Amino acid sequence: MNIIKLSAIASTNDYLKSLSTTQYLENFTIVVAEHQTAGKGQMGAKWDVQPGKNLTFSVLVKDLLLGINEIFNLNAAVAVSIIEALEENNVKDLAIKWPNDILAGNKKIGGVLIENSIKNNGEIFSVVGIGLNVNQTDFEGLPKASSVAVVTGYEHDKTVLLKAIVENLQRNVAALLHKNAAPIWTKYHKKLYKKGVPMPFEKDGQRFMGIIQDVNSSGNLLLLLEDDTVAEFKIKELQMLY
Ligand code: BTN
């Protein structure tokens, strides 16, 4: 594994993106930082965690051409790879909250931010950014956040978890390249948080109840609504009030 270790950087995603546009890097090159000064979360949010205690890293995934209707396959593979790595390390009660938040004991312990780019020479690559709360135990003011150490009751070796995640990701990306996404999706659906349970949502200021049926390979959420129809929602148009 080609690992670039940094003590501090603005964002491992931004750093890996700029490195890979200017030089050759092998597939699955990892950039890991002890501290990010401008860590990025989903939807323009910040990813701010205690320095030194957690995993903040990015992995380069090259040449994975996904069709328009399978654009979410890499997200599903990443979420599943994290879940598998945590299970291998005896972390229990795990779930994936759509689209790809990692929960343990109903609280968020990890998040994923994937950014896709094209080089001048036409090569495509994805930067898979992963934030996993590992040994942080103080979450004052963050009632919905937790960590691996909080749920297991003991500290974990961050490098062991990092390697397990990336090894699983290599295997799962290879499966995608071989057009074998089905086992990844089976695992994703099995772990989908609140599947089959009526939950509150909001769209365009309107609140409503829906029952999560599925997530499709475009990454859209399928909800059974109160009028017995199933509707498809994009990530950006729906707020989850749970
Ligand atoms: C989320 O909002 O749930 C996604 C969080 C992703 C955070 C990771 S930490 C490593 C990588 N670098 C970044 O700037 N963000 C991602």
Q: How many CB atoms lie within 10 A of CB 50?
A: 14
- Would you say how long the chain is, in residues? 242
C-alpha 83 – ligand 1 centre gap (Å): 16
Domain(s) of CATH 3.30.930.10: residues in the chain: 3-190
Beta strand spans in the chain (E) = 3-9, 30-36, 55-62, 94-97, 101-104, 107-118, 124-132, 198-203, 206-215, 221-225, 230-233, 239-240
Ligand 1 atom 11 nearest Cα: 129
pLDDT in tens, 53-63: 999 999 999 98
Taking 90 as the threshold, does the pLDDT of residue 65 lie above it?
no
Cβ(131) – ligand 1 distance below 6 Å: yes
Cβ(219) – ligand 1 distance below 6 Å: no
C-alpha 157 – ligand 1 centre gap (Å): 20
Cβ(201) – ligand 1 distance below 6 Å: no
Angle at 134 between CA 143 and CA 50, to 5 degrees: 65
Ligand 1 atom 7 nearest Cα: 131
C-alpha 30 – ligand 1 centre gap (Å): 14
Mean pLDDT for 188-216 is: 96
pLDDT in tens, 94-140: 999 999 999 999 999 999 999 999 998 889 999 999 999 999 999 99
Terminal CA-CA length for the chain? 38
Cβ(97) – ligand 1 distance below 6 Å: no
* Structure-block tokens of residue 212: 């999560």
Is 172 exposed, middle or buried (CB count within 10 Å of its CB: 0-12, 13-18, 19+)? buried
Is the pTM of the predicted complex or chain greater than 0.90? yes
C-alpha 225 – ligand 1 centre gap (Å): 32
Q: Which strand (E) or helix (H) includes residue 23?
A: none
Architecture of domain 198-240: Roll (2.30)
Cβ(39) – ligand 1 distance below 6 Å: yes
Cβ(111) – ligand 1 distance below 6 Å: yes
Q: Please give the CATH number for the structural domain made up of 3-190.
A: 3.30.930.10
Atom of ligand 1 nearest to the CA of 36: 14
Domain(s) of CATH 2.30.30.100: residues in the chain: 198-240
The reported pLDDT for the residue numbered 234 is: 95
Above pLDDT 90, what percent of the chain?
Answer: 93
Atom of ligand 1 nearest to the CA of 10: 14
Cβ(165) – ligand 1 distance below 6 Å: no
Testing ligand 1's pocket by substitution, the residue of 130, 147, 162, 193 carrying the most ligand atoms inside 8 A of its CB is 130
